[in-house]
Structure 1
Amino acid sequence: MMSVKRKKLEWGYFLLIPGLGYILFFLAGAVGMMIGQSFGFFNYTGSSSFSLKYWQNIITQSFTDDLFYSLKIAVFASFICIVLIYPLSLIIQKAPGKKTIVSLMKIPMFVPALVASLLVLNIIDYHGIINIVLIKLRIIEEPLRMRNDKWGTAALLIQIWKNVPFMMIIMYSAVEGVRKDIIDAARNLGAGRISILSQIVLPLTLPSALISVILVFIRVFNDFIISRTAGPLYPNTLSNLMHVTAYLYDDWHSAACIGCLMLITAVTFVSIYSYISKKLLQHL
């Protein structure tokens, strides 16, 4: 009987082939080729040979500035989103027609990034709606520059608008998953709203919040279109630097080095963040 179960279990591993095979073949193959290109291999226009010069070429002030800008936008966007989503998820839980509200909030997810960028730019542009209203109200004398500014204000606002619905899907399900009988029991024992939020809702939903922050960080850190259209002229994201290096300068090896460093940076951030998150969860 045990041998039959073991055989069924062994055959069950074949069900992993579609998903696992895709990851191993396409993802691992692409990453392996990128790493090889960064060291001078897979040269389609000339000879391929091992070289470290491409790594030396990218260590410039431009790369450093783009790296810090990418990290800044990704960190700010992910944490601002979670700060907005937590109270919003709690409010929607008690709002009438909450399913309709959640459905409406998901609309930005179905808007392409380029279209979303242009929509928001029409609002915050130099001659956009906000500046026109502020000038009409005589709050400002001349339009404010919110597009292509050095702080990346426009890009950050668009990233928040695009990623709040994505994070809402995760956090709304997590908040809704908190059992009502636990909350009712806490109320019967004399717990107030603040105690329920801090000692019940927060610990139960914090794992989902931590995961959603990681997912949004990766989405924003690897962004190309939004920063291309609304971000500052300098610095910009590493994705834009990688695109310019590959297509404008035709230096695919240096572009591969940038891609490797993007991957290393993302993995490092996620590892450090996960370690801190585990320590935080242990104290709750």
Structure 2
Amino acid sequence: MKLWLLLLPGLGSIVFLMGSALYTIMIQSVGLHTELGASLDYWSDTLSDPILFRSIEYSLRTSVLGSLGAVILAYPIAMWLRKPIPGKTAIIGLLRAPMFVPGLVAAFLLINVISFHGILNESLLALGVIDKPLRITNDKFGWSVVMLQVWKNTPFALILLSSSINSIRSDVLDASADLGASAWANFSQVVFPLTIPALQAALILIFIGALGDFAFASIAGSRNVYSLSVLMHYTATAYYEWEKAAVIGLVIMVLSGLSAILITLMTRPFANRTRPVISASFLERSHEK
């Protein structure tokens, strides 16, 4: 009983806030608060609209690429920071700087970097890599949003992965290297499986945040296809269809939950994978000796 009393303030507030928000959006999605009463027409109209499915495709694409890009970029940095290097504290602080920049401010700042006449295009033109500026911002595919998501979320992925990588004992890595494991085998067969829980947490949290992100999508996103968050915003504020906006909000929540389950199921086998890290050439040399 005392344990429940200790959990009640924190757990109770979370359940109350999440439960009340979920209840409100659910009754709003069926129009229960209107004079006409409950109706599933809002669901049928929204789910039959091709604009919604284009938004789902766009949001899933940018979220998947953004979360994967952040994690892929964070892994080598985390492995490098594991080593004793001069100025390590300053480097870590610099790498975490994007976390302290609000998303809306970051979007405006990075737009100047990747815009048609931004720093990136001007640098590529000066180096002779391209003949004319590339239109990266507001592109139909969503590369500008992906770049912003990677820049913003890499420090968060770095924190989770670094703590997991640093928990691996050095003698474990040294032993596999002494047994003939290459650097790639050491990472793929030792480090990667041991950091799967941190990888799962990073992918899930970054993906869900990117899926519901509004700041980056509204500024740097496509002007032909809206993300789910932008579509929900315009549906509610421009067309005053709050019931359909609630349906889109529930779609985002369902996609977030399904994606979390899918990420967990897809990454779990890598944690249980057991393969020899000793190279065959090393065994042959040892046998000859």
Please report the TM-score for the alignment, with normalisation by the length of structure 1: 0.90
Q: In 2, Cα distance between the equivalents of 1:187 and 1:98?
A: 25
Q: In 2, Cα distance between the equivalents of 1:97 and 1:177?
A: 21
Q: In 2, Cα distance between the equivalents of 1:164 and 1:216?
A: 9
Q: In 2, Cα distance between the equivalents of 1:153 and 1:193?
A: 32
Q: In 1, Cα distance between the equivalents of 2:125 and 2:180?
A: 53
Indicate the percent of aligned positions where both proteins have the same amino acid.
36
Q: Deviations over 1:105-145 (max 9, x none)?
A: 00000001111111111011112122233344554443221
From 84, 87, 100, give the equivalent of 2:73: 84
Deviation at 1:248, TM superposition (A): 0.8
Moved more, 138-147 or 70-79: 138-147
Deviation at 1:187, TM superposition (A): 4.3
Alignment of 1:151-162 (within 5 A): 151-162=141-152
From 41, 44, 62, give the equivalent of 2:32: 41
Aligned to 2:279: none
Residue 43 of structure 2 aligns with an amino acid whose one-letter code is W
Aligned to 1:6: none
Residue-pair matches, total: 272
Q: In 1, Cα distance between the equivalents of 2:130 and 2:191?
A: 43
Deviation at 1:188, TM superposition (A): 4.9
From 116, 119, 125, give the equivalent of 2:115: 125
Q: In 1, Cα distance between the equivalents of 2:89 and 2:128?
A: 40
Residues 62, 143 of structure 2: 8 Å contact kept: no
Q: In 1, Cα distance between the equivalents of 2:119 and 2:94?
A: 23
Residues 33, 42 of structure 1: 8 Å contact kept: no
Q: In 2, Cα distance between the equivalents of 1:273 and 1:137?
A: 40
Q: State yes or no: 1:53 paired with 2:44.
A: no
Q: In 2, Cα distance between the equivalents of 1:85 and 1:138?
A: 30
Residues 68, 203 of structure 2: 8 Å contact kept: yes
Q: In 1, Cα distance between the equivalents of 2:257 and 2:103?
A: 24
Deviation at 1:35, TM superposition (A): 0.7
Q: State yes or no: 1:149 paired with 2:139.
A: yes
Alignment of 1:168-183 (within 5 A): 168-183=158-173
Q: In 1, Cα distance between the equivalents of 2:39 and 2:173?
A: 62
In structure 1, runs of 5+ residues without a counterpart are 1-9
Cα 1:200–1:134 change in 2 (3 A) is closer
Cα 1:200–1:140 change in 2 (3 A) is closer
Please report the TM-score for the alignment, with normalisation by the length of structure 2: 0.88
Moved more, 252-261 or 205-214: 205-214
Residues 29, 246 of structure 2: 8 Å contact kept: yes
Aligned to 1:218: 208
Deviation at 1:194, TM superposition (A): 3.6
Secondary structure in 2 aligned to 1:283? coil
Q: In 1, Cα distance between the equivalents of 2:237 and 2:93?
A: 40
Deviation at 1:196, TM superposition (A): 2.7
Residues 55, 225 of structure 2: 8 Å contact kept: yes
Q: In 2, Cα distance between the equivalents of 1:79 and 1:132?
A: 28
Deviation at 1:192, TM superposition (A): 4.4
Cα 1:201–1:133 change in 2 (3 A) is closer
Q: State yes or no: 1:199 paired with 2:189.
A: yes
Q: Deviations over 1:201-227 (max 9, x none)?
A: 222112211221111101100100101
Residues 126, 145 of structure 1: 8 Å contact kept: yes
Moved more, 177-186 or 80-89: 177-186
Deviation at 1:153, TM superposition (A): 1.5
Alignment of 1:239-254 (within 5 A): 239-254=229-244
Q: In 1, Cα distance between the equivalents of 2:268 and 2:41?
A: 39
From 29, 38, 56, give the equivalent of 2:20: 29
Q: Calculate the aligned-residue CA RMSD, in Å.
A: 1.7
Aligned to 1:70: 59
Deviation at 1:189, TM superposition (A): 4.6
Residue 61 of structure 2 aligns with an amino acid whose one-letter code is K
Cα 1:172–1:251 change in 2 (3 A) is same
Q: In 2, Cα distance between the equivalents of 1:106 and 1:33?
A: 36
Q: Deviations over 1:150-188 (max 9, x none)?
A: 111211111110000111110111111111232344445
